[in-house]
């Protein structure tokens, strides 16, 4: 394995997405799979109503094809490859059902919170069932230290917490044109470097395939977006990044590498707790990216700033794991 394989993987996934998009976008538009914009959201977003959504299908198709092609060409397909694809496609299908209810059945909130949680838990439990058969360690290491804790049977609780919480955190971040595509590419890029450094080339290839797929999607999702990934894409990417973190045994490091996702989630939690306990809002709107919009930042400025913050978190995560 060498750097040329990595570049070829990213390039293949990028090209597949770019080629698929001009086909999928008009198709989604003809099916009237247009995004419904929440009335309580920023008023400037109302003009985005009707923009085709479910574009995450292109990302899923691209990364799946690329992963299978590259595994056939350059390395033996492993159980980890199948676990990664299972969780990614599983969460993607859950998101697809949510999107379908929103845009076709015209129920703006999609699946109820209980229905979505049940789907997330089911996928997490199936993942753990197969995960434990491959004798993967239940030891969790604290980044930057020599401290490690063997959770034993309790490791399943960490997996459930990470998959449910992580997929929702990434979903919260998908609120502005190009925001999630860019931050996801950065986070998966960081884990690709770390997986490669561990010699886990199957995970590295998968991660790079995701990077190429979302960057190809970004061509059409950058402001002003011609297509949204919807929950089809955001839940899939959330499940995928968590699974990569688990399989590389860098679970806790995800808090740093996925720092933008963590901050977005914390902003929602803080806002809810503050409003329910004091009747006051800490932010003008949550998740946090909407707060910056409402204080006068342009959408593009918010997105680029969050990309930059995500890049700093990714560099910090790599530094802690490789050099500290």
Q: What is the reported pLDDT for 38?
A: 57
177 annotated to a ligand binding site: no
Q: Which of 135, 180, 176 is nearest to 155 (CA)?
A: 135
Closest CA to 168 of 234, 115, 114, 259: 234
Q: ∠ at Cα 33 (31, 36), nearest 5°?
A: 150
Q: Residue for token digits 């969780």?
A: 87
Distances in Å between the alpha carbon of 3 and those of 195, 196, 200, 216, 319? 13, 10, 14, 20, 20
Q: Measured between alpha carbons, how far is 277 from 100 in angstroms, rounded to an integer?
A: 35
- What phi and psi, each to the nearest 5 degrees, are found at residue 139? -80, 135
Give the span between the Cα atoms of 95 and 239, in whole angstroms: 11
197 is in an annotated binding site: no
What is the C-alpha separation between 14 and 165, in angstroms, rounded?
Answer: 28
By the 8 A CB rule, do 123 and 236 touch?
no
pLDDT of residue 43: 57
| pLDDT, tens only, 261-294 | 999 999 999 999 999 999 999 999 999 999 999 9
pLDDT by residue for the chain (324 residues), tens digit each?
577 899 999 999 999 999 999 998 988 887 766 555 555 555 555 566 678 889 999 999 999 999 999 988 887 788 899 999 999 999 999 999 998 888 877 666 678 889 999 999 999 999 999 888 776 788 999 998 889 999 988 999 999 999 999 999 999 999 899 999 999 999 999 999 999 999 999 999 999 999 999 999 999 999 899 999 999 999 999 999 999 999 999 999 999 999 999 999 999 999 999 999 999 999 999 999 999 999 999 999 999 999 999 999 999 999 999 987
199: left (phi over 0), alpha (psi -120 to 50) or beta: left
Whether 59 and 217 have beta carbons less than 8 Å apart is answered as: yes
């Amino acid at each position: 394995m060498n750097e040329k394989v990595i570049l070829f993987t990213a390039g293949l996934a990028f090209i597949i997405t770019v080629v698929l998009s001009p086909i999928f976008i008009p198709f989604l538009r003809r099916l009237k799979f247009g995004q419904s914009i929440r009335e309580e959201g920023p008023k400037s977003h109302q003009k985005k109503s009707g923009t085709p959504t479910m574009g995450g299908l292109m990302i899923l198709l691209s990364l799946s094809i690329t992963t299978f092609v590259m595994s056939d060409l350059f390395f033996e397909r492993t159980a980890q490859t199948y676990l990664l694809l299972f969780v990614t496609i599983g969460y993607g299908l859950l998101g697809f059902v949510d999107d379908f209810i929103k845009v076709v059945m015209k129920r703006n909130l999609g699946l109820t919170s209980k229905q979505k949680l049940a789907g997330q838990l089911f996928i997490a439990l199936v993942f753990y069932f197969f995960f434990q058969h491959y004798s993967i360690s239940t030891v969790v290491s604290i980044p930057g230290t020599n401290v490690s804790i063997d959770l034993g049977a309790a490791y399943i609780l960490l997996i459930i917490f990470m998959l449910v919480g992580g997929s929702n955190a990434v979903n919260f971040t998908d609120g502005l044109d190009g925001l999630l595509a860019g931050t996801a590419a950065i986070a998966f890029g960081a884990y690709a470097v770390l997986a490669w450094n561990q010699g886990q080339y199957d995970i590295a290839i998968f991660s790079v395939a995701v990077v190429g797929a979302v960057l190809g999607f970004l061509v059409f999702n950058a402001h002003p977006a011609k297509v949204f990934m919807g929950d089809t894409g955001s839940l899939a990417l959330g499940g995928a990044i968590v699974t990569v973190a688990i399989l590389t045994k860098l679970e806790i490091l995800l808090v740093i590498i996925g720092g933008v996702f963590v901050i977005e989630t914390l902003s929602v939690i803080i806002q809810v707790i503050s409003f329910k306990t004091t009747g006051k809002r800490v932010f003008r709107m949550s998740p946090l990216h909407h707060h910056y919009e409402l204080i006068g930042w342009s959408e593009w400025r918010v997105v680029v700033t969050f990309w930059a913050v995500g890049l700093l978190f990714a560099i910090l995560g790599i530094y802690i794991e490789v050099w500290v």
